[in-house]
Structures are given as C-alpha cells and as structure tokens.
Amino acid sequence: MNAKIGNESSVSEFLLLEFSAVRELQILHFSLFLVLYMAILFGNLLIISSIVFDHHLHTPMYFFLMNLAIQDIGAVSVTIPKSMANSFMNIRHISYAGCVAQVLSFFFFLSSDVALLTVMAYDRYVAICNPLQYEMVMNRAACKQMVAGVWFSGLLNAAMHTSATFATPFCSNIVNQFFCEVPQLLTLACSNSYQTEIGALVVSLTIASGCFVFIVVTYVHIFTVVLKVPSVQGRKKAFSTCIPHLVVFSIFCFTSFFAYLRLPPKTPSNGDFAITVMYTIVPPMFNPIIYSMRNKEIKNAVSKLLRLKHASMISFPDLS
C-alpha cells in the first residue's frame, strides 16, 4: 500500500511507527515492551486476584480498584501486543479493521478509566467526610450501578469517536505512532470532514476536565477534614489512599490533554512518543505499584495470596 493515496481513495491497511530499521533495535524495542507489558499484567492481575480471594477486601473501594485493574489490563492489551508483534516480525502494518478495533477498544478503556477514577474520588469523599452515611450511600446496589454506568459511558464515548474518525476518507496510511492514535489518524484525513471528530474530542476533553476539577475539589474537602483528625495514623492512612490517586490522575490528564489538543507533528518525534507512553503505559504500570505499596490491606492480601500459592506448590504430590 502506497503512503500517498488518491484524494478520496479508501485505505485497506495502515503502517504504524517503525522504531528503527536496525534489527537489533527492533528486538530491543520488543524486549522493553514485553517487560513493561508483563509487569503491568502481573501487577494488575495480582491486585484482582487478591481482592477476589480476600473477603476482607469485598468493599466499595476495592471493588472499584479491581475494575480499575481490569481497565488497565485492557488499555495496554489493545496497543502493546500489536506493537511488539510488528517489531518481532519486522513489519509495520495493521489492517483497517484492526485499526478500527484498536481505536474503539482503546477509547472504551480510556473513557471508562476517567469515569471510574471520578467515582473512586467520590467514594473516598463519602468515606472520609461523611463516614456515618457511607454504608447507606455506597451500598452494594449503588456500587454496581456506578460501575455499570462507568462501563456504559465508556462504550458510548468510544463508539462516538470511532464512528467520527473513520467516517473520514484518508489520503495517507502512515500513522506516526505505535498504535492507531486518533490525533495521528486525523492528520491523514483528505478534507475538513474530520471536524466532526475534532468536535467530539473537544466535548470529551471538556467532560474529562470537569472530572478533573471534581476530583481536585473533592480532595480539597477531604484534605481539609483529614487535617482536623487528631490521630496521626488516621491522617497517614487517608493521605496514603488519596494522594497517589490524585497524582496518577493528574499525570494521565495532563499528558492525554496535551496529546489530543495539539496538532501532531508531520514526522515522528521522541517527544511525541514519550507523551503517548505517559498516558497509555505509565498509569497502568504505576497503579498497582502505588496501591500495593501504600495500602496495608492490599499488601496483606497479596502476601496471603502468595503464601497460599507457595504452600499449594509445596504440598502438591510428586507423581514422578
């Protein structure tokens, strides 16, 4: 498939970013992404397993955290494996249908992530600022409805962006990113018909900005209440669950806003790649580290789970 196509021609496949023409560097890219992907999978699956098997963690906060881990696994699984496979096999292409699926799936998990982090901030607000009403407000039915709303809103947003992006005819098939990123796809459009997707992006970023403001205001209220707590241990516990949440969400928002609001460069750049990595790979990688290292309950659950697995391996009969 040629890089430049007729003004209104269709595209049957896209060419993703080639990190290097040197085979050794391609294998290095494959190895680095493999390590990152396995670390993200292991960390998030460990959190999911710990929450599922420890009944002490069957509370709203950990229910939301489990869904966040599922979203993190999904977000990286629709982008990193394809990039690794291309480097390993020394190819660049992704089919048109595969690109559509990538955009749909990535926006689905990305949008759901923003919505869920907002819900988690509200959960912490009720738990810390209105503890006497917590069980009534954050009951099992309410939590399930919130999570269902999170996933459904993510699907609607993903469908809107996918249909708007691929309604545009493309005049080139070279995507200067390691996956089908919407801003990069818009630079390939033949005409101004991509204005529909620009409008959709503005709406989504406005909503995400509202979520960010809501989270910041929520944590201002939380910190105000926490600072009045006489117990040093109580303040430490509250800050340990809130500050990491705010930091990760801030990194995610600022880098994604920058990636989607600016016009991507015509040629690949290390800075553009770094920005994309910051909002696609860094949050899923650091979420399990932050929550497991700063949360005593998660650390205890992980320890019990690992001890249980170790004990079952030792007690397994030798059939040789």
In order of their start, the domains of the chain are: 16-304 (1.20.1070.10)
pLDDT for 92-127, tens place per residue?
999 999 999 999 999 999 999 999 999 999 998 999
- Give the pLDDT of residue 30: 94
How many Cα atoms occupy the beta-carbon half-sphere of 273 within 13 Å? 14
pLDDT at 243: 77
Among residues of the chain, what percentage have pLDDT more than 90?
42
User: Would you tell me how many other CB atoms lie within 10 Å of the CB of residue 274?
Assistant: 11
For 4-25, what is the mean pLDDT? 76
Q: Kindly give the pairing relationship between strand 93-95 and strand 13-15.
A: antiparallel
Q: Report the pLDDT value the prediction gives residue 67, as an integer from 0 to 100.
A: 95
pLDDT given at position 266: 67
pLDDT-derived band of residue 263, with 50, 70 and 90 as boundaries?
low
For a pLDDT cut of 70, what percent of the chain falls above it? 87
Residue with more model confidence, 191 or 303: 303
Query: Between residues 191 and 11, which one has the greater pLDDT?
Result: 11
- What average pLDDT does this structure show over 5-31? 81
CA 5 remoteness from chain centre: 33
Question: How far from chain centre, in Å, is Cα 2?
Answer: 33
For residue 94, give the nearest of 15, 182, 184 by alpha carbon.
15
Asked whether residue 317 carries a pLDDT value surpassing 50, the answer given is no
Mean pLDDT of 118-142: 92
Does 139 have pLDDT greater than 90?
A: yes
- Look at residue 297 and tell me whether its pLDDT is greater than 60: yes
> For 145-165, what is the mean pLDDT?
95
pLDDT of residue 246: 80
The pTM (predicted TM-score) of the whole model is: 0.87
252 and 160 Cβ atoms separated by less than 8 Å:
no
Q: What pLDDT was estimated at residue 311?
A: 53
Predicted confidence at residue 36, as pLDDT, reads 94
Asked whether residue 2 carries a pLDDT value surpassing 80, the answer given is no
